[in-house]
Amino acid sequence: MKILHIGDQAGSASITSNICTKMGHESLVLQDKNIETFLHGEYYKNTLYMEKDDIFTALKAAISEGYDHFVYHDQIALATAADHLHVSSSYMFHGNMLRQNTKLYNQVMNLESIDNIFVTTEDLLEFAPEAHLFNRPVDMDMFYNMGIKEKHQIGLCLTQERYVPFIRDMVRGSETGVFIVDRVKNKLEYKNMPSILNQYRVYYDIKYQPTHPPTLIKDISQTALQALACGLTVWSNGKVYTKFPEQNSDENSAREFIRVLEE
């Protein structure tokens, strides 16, 4: 199977493409070059960045290049436009788009080319009852405990600037204190994340939906999974996590992903 991913939310497409290619399923990612990313695709060198208006043309060219399965990552407009091409396809919901517009699920279900629907967090199954839960992959060759002995005593929380006041209120009174960092403003690239996480003992996983006012997201985040792989303790929505869930290793995630595609 030769797989083409369209869009890349939180690096899921490029990480999955990397491990699937190693497992014998050649994969590539198409990404709008104007969308802010943390450069997952540049790290893996498996992403073509292009103008949004050129992606549909690239989809048609990919068919002649032997790509026989498309995976749309929160790309409803492209999935709809390409439906008449009749290429076996999957659709993956990554979070806020479906939470804020639950009618999208039925819209995707009505597309003839969509064989499988995935969601990346358990709460989304409420809106997509026939979807498969996609285990967000963590590159285990990249994220691991580096054995650094001298670590910061305060916790780390990566977020966006608009959520900083809410997080400060939430962690006020924390025993260790929390260093809150705007990941976008500080341009924390994916390739640097293992070394950053390994400098801390605790990661505070606090994520919001962009509503007014912001609404907490209950499921553990991709960054929190990476932190667990690096040996950190993770605090998320009042729960403490210390063990990495093995189903989220890139290899285990990819095996399950391919199994669904081949059913």
DSSP state at residue 247: G
Look at residue 176 and tell me whether its pLDDT is greater than 80: no
Look at residue 211 and tell me whether its pLDDT is greater than 90: no
**pLDDT band at residue 214 using 50, 70 and 90 as cut-offs:** confident
Residue 137 to residues 58, 80, 242, Cα–Cα distance (Å) = 26, 27, 18
Q: What value does the mean pLDDT take over residues 170-184? A: 87
Q: What value does the mean pLDDT take over residues 207-218? A: 87
Question: What are the domain boundaries of the chain?
Answer: 3-137+248-262, 155-243
pLDDT in tens, 20-42: 999 999 999 999 999 877 899 99
Within 8 A by CB and 6+ apart from 60, the residues are: 85
**pLDDT band at residue 48 using 50, 70 and 90 as cut-offs:** very high
Q: What percentage of the chain exceeds 90 in pLDDT?
A: 85
Model-level pTM?
0.94
Q: Exposed e or buried b for every residue in 85-94, given b needs 16+ CB within 10 A?
A: eebebbbbbb
pLDDT in tens, 122-132: 999 999 999 99
CB 4 within 8 Å of CB 34: no
pLDDT at residue 19 in the model: 98
The radius of gyration of the chain from alpha carbons, rounded to an integer in Å, stands at 19
Q: What value does the mean pLDDT take over residues 240-261? A: 98
pLDDT at residue 40 in the model: 95
pLDDT at residue 255 in the model: 98
Q: Nearest-CA neighbor of 124 among 159, 90, 85, 97?
A: 97
DSSP state at residue 138: B
Rounded Cα distance, 234 and 243, in Å: 9
Q: Exposed e or buried b for every residue in 189-216, given b needs 16+ CB within 10 A?
A: ebeebbebbbebebbbbbbbeeeeebee
Rounded Cα distance, 4 and 13, in Å: 9
pLDDT at residue 218 in the model: 87
Q: Nearest-CA neighbor of 98 among 68, 134, 46, 69?
A: 134
What phi and psi, each to the nearest 5 degrees, are found at residue 205? -95, 95
Rounded Cα distance, 171 and 141, in Å: 32
- State whether CATH 3.40.50.2000 applies to domain 3-137+248-262: yes
- Please return the burial class of 56, using the count of CB atoms within 10 Å of its CB with bins 0-12, 13-18 and 19+: middle
Q: Nearest-CA neighbor of 4 among 113, 88, 129?
A: 88
pLDDT in tens, 110-147: 999 999 999 999 999 999 999 999 999 999 999 999 99
